[in-house]
Chain A
Amino acid sequence: MLWNVVRWEVMRHLRNKQFIIGLLITPVLFAVFGALPSVIQRLDRPRTAAYLVVDELQAVPWLQTALDGSPVTVEAASAPRPDLEAAVLAGDADGFFVLDRRFVETGVLEVFVEKPRPVPNALEGALNGLLQSLRMQEQQLDPQIVQYVSSRAAVISSGINAPEDQSERLLAGLIMSGVLAFLLFWLIISSGSMLLQSAVQEKRDRMAEVVLSSIGADTLMTGKIIGHFLLGLIQIGFWLLIGLSVLRFAADIPVGDFIAWPLLPPLLLFTLLGYLFYAAVFVGVGATLEDIQSASNTQGLVFMLPMVSFLFIPPVTSNPDGFIAKVGTFFPPSSPLITMIRIGMEAAAAWEAAVAAVIMLVSTWLVVKAASRLFRTGMLMYGKNATWKEMWRWIRYPG
């Protein structure tokens, strides 16, 4: 009977226009919004800016070499200042400046333009380089020695007993836990939302009692949870297939290298437990609501619960072994996401992951039990939303 409910939930959504449109449109939207900034930037490519230089340092050739390939050009000019100003005002040049000893000594350069606006980054960078080069010449320093002396330290953390490929493995673990944590969150939000609406629709369509005369409330609830989990996986699987194909074949990124196989089982376990925990909350709450309007209002409140995890993310990523990280690991609403991140960072000890899994199993079982009691009574209540008092009574009532 359970699989009849699962199949029904999956098939009727797969035939639903909104679901199909969402499935197909989402990757298109991702692609469009991902590519849009660069497309817009190309459409608005800055025009070439031309500057005139009163060159007392004979530095224009140096600058021209430095600016090669950039949208900025410089040209030496020997005209008096009023003529240069006239040329800028007439639009023949974007501005002019004077390269003299004062620039070398003070490092200050005034660029004269029609209206004050930031100097192009390319020009500013080239002038910085020129200043350093001129000052090094002045001090008779070899630029290569200066670069060697001024280069930054690269600090690498390396475990004493760690295998040689540790850094690659760590990166793969981090990427995979990040991707799975994102997928879990997406599952919770999309499938959770569908679940809540589905319970309300069952009541709106007055189908609850008809169905409950054939199967138990637990079976109906479990069927809905599994059905929507599968729908979420179908969505994510479809999008992943497209995304990974693009990365592998269009961007030539070796996706397979980023799969940390040993971490896969615990990460998938926490993904599943996290989904079940929140799915039970959403379906239980959905059963206590009267209509879609109430569901929309309540949805915002209920969805604050998975957001709790995000409070833990900054302190956990900066100190994955710290006190906050441990609290986040053992606190059921945040446990799945935080434990997954810590597993990815190889910061969660095996015993911590095991205790977190046990806590999640027990709390998921309790939440499913409470949700099924809410569901059993709530699905047969019409005409009003349940009060907190009623919900508490239903949860305590075993029969």
Chain B
Amino acid sequence: MSQTVLDVDSVVKRYHRKTAVDGVSFSVQRGEILGFLGPNGAGKTTTLRMIMGITAPDAGRVTFRLEGAGGSQRVPKHRVGYLPEERGLYKEARILDVLLFLACIKGMPKDEARRKALDWLERFGLGAYANAKVEELSKGMAQKVQFIAAVIHEPDLVVLDEPFSGLDPVNQEVFREEIRRLKERGAAVLLSSHQMNLVEETCDRIFLINNGRRVLYGTLVDVKAQYGVHRVNMLVSDPDWDWRPPDLVEQVNRDGARWTCLLRPGVTPGQFMHSLPAGAPVEEISIARISLHDIFVRMATQGEAA
């Protein structure tokens, strides 16, 4: 049975005359990864900061339902891990010292923090750097240390804001694997990212925010079913084929013998196939739902237009 760990209920945040977040609600379950998506300036970071208690909402509430703690609107900081988008490390300090400090302010005993920090550094191939200064690390290495700092205290809820940004594909895969492990351990993960392919491969559900409001919310399958219209790619043998697309097609692009059609919401591949005239000179055809990236772009653009 799923257990809600984080409940965000109708939170509002205003800065001066601008409403940055306008009545956003969602929840994150134990052992789940929720993708928190949105274009730049949509209100993601503000929402995450409200969850982390760094800024207070003007209305609505954030409730933490952690095992043994009941429902609380105070952030149980020692049970929550946070990797912010604006992140860094104390440049002149030693790596192990930074990790110990960050673990200790999360309430971890120093000895345990030291043991865990060394374990994590070994796991990320940074064991030899424990006593090195932060300024000696490459960007990818520093990001690994930042990730360790966010999860070293084994939090029940992990909030990751753009964890993949600036990472090469190999390190992206390493991070994705670690995020999956957090989920397997039973942690609830709230993951904000612009890398849609990684979100699609990693997340169980997604929440799309734009202009401070909810645009999409649900499982990947549901979202794709609801908003993921089908795209048809056709290669025809007759470049001069005179075909008038039926009403089932919302948008069509033609490049010589290559046709690309976007079907209207609700139209199935079968309906489209039946609509093709007999004897259509189709050489190749592929019909697939559009990607999360396309859904994101469509929804974000529509949101902006609205």
Contacts and interface: CB of A to CB of B under 8 A. Distances in A.
Contacts of A12: 90, 92-93, 97
A172 interface: no
A399 B105 contact: no
A194 to B, nearest CB: 13
A215 B105 contact: yes
Given A4-B104, A16-B92, A380-B54, A213 B77 contact: yes
A208 B105 CA distance: 13
Interface string A170-187: 000000000000000000
B116 to A, nearest CB: 15
Contact of B88 (A11, A16, A205, A380): A205
B123 interface: no
A376 B193 CA distance: 26
Contact of B82 (A5, A210, A382): A210
Contacts of B88: 204-207, 210
B54 A1 contact: no
B84 A213 contact: yes
Nearest to A8: B101
A212 interface: yes
Q: Closest 9 CB pairs between A and B?
A: A206-B88, A213-B82, A209-B84, A214-B105, A205-B88, A399-B56, A213-B52, A4-B104, A8-B101
A28 interface: no
Contacts of A31: none
Contacts of B104: 4
Given A8-B101, A12-B97, A209 B89 contact: no
A210 B54 contact: no
Nearest to A16: B92
A213 B83 CA distance: 9
Interface string B254-280: 000000000000000000000000000
Interface in B80-106: 80, 82, 84, 86-93, 97, 101-102, 104-106
Interface of A: 1, 4-5, 8, 11-12, 16, 201, 204-215, 380, 382, 393, 399
Given A12-B97, A206-B87, A215-B77, 15 more contacts: A1-B107, A4-B104, A12-B90, A205-B88, A205-B90, A207-B90, A210-B82, A210-B88, A210-B146, A212-B54, A213-B52, A213-B54, A214-B106, A380-B54, A382-B86
A204 B91 CA distance: 10
Interface residues of B, number: 31
Contacts of B62: none
A382 B84 CA distance: 13
B177 interface: no
B244 interface: no
5 contacts: A207-B88, A207-B90, A209-B54, A210-B150, A380-B55
Nearest to A12: B93
A393 B16 contact: yes
Secondary structure class of chain B's binding surface, majority of residues: loop
A201 B88 CA distance: 11
A393 B15 CA distance: 10
A192 to B, nearest CB: 20
Contact of B89 (A5, A16, A205, A208): A205
Contacts of B146: 210
Contacts of A207: 87-90
Contacts of B86: 206, 208-209, 380, 382
B209 interface: no
Contacts of A209: 49, 54, 82, 84, 86-87
Given A205-B89, A393-B16, A211 B105 contact: yes
A211 B150 CA distance: 10
Contacts of A204: 88
Contacts of B42: none
B91 to A, nearest CB: 6
A1 B105 CA distance: 5
Contacts of B77: 213-215
B58 interface: yes
Contacts of A211: 102, 105
Contacts of B56: 399
Nearest to A219: B105
A158 to B, nearest CB: 59
A205 B149 CA distance: 15
Contacts of A210: 82, 84, 87-88, 102, 146, 149-150
Contact of B105 (A4, A205, A206, A393): A4
A12 B90 CA distance: 10
A12 B150 CA distance: 21
Contacts of A11: 97
A381 to B, nearest CB: 10
Of A210, A211, A215, which is in contact with the most chain B CB atoms at under 10 Å from its CB?
A: A210
Contacts of A382: 86
Point out which of B93, B102, B105, B149 has the most chain A C-beta atoms below 10 A from its C-beta: B105
A206 B161 CA distance: 14
Nearest to B105: A214
A240 to B, nearest CB: 28
Contacts of B107: 1
Given A206-B87, A382-B86, A214 B92 contact: no
A231 to B, nearest CB: 15
A201 to B, nearest CB: 8
Contacts of A393: 16
A4 B49 CA distance: 23
Contacts of A215: 77, 105
A50 B4 CA distance: 102
B54 A205 contact: no
Contacts of A1: 105, 107
Contacts of B97: 11-12
Contacts of B55: 380
A209 B86 CA distance: 7
A11 B78 CA distance: 23
A360 to B, nearest CB: 31
A206 B56 CA distance: 21
Nearest to A212: B54
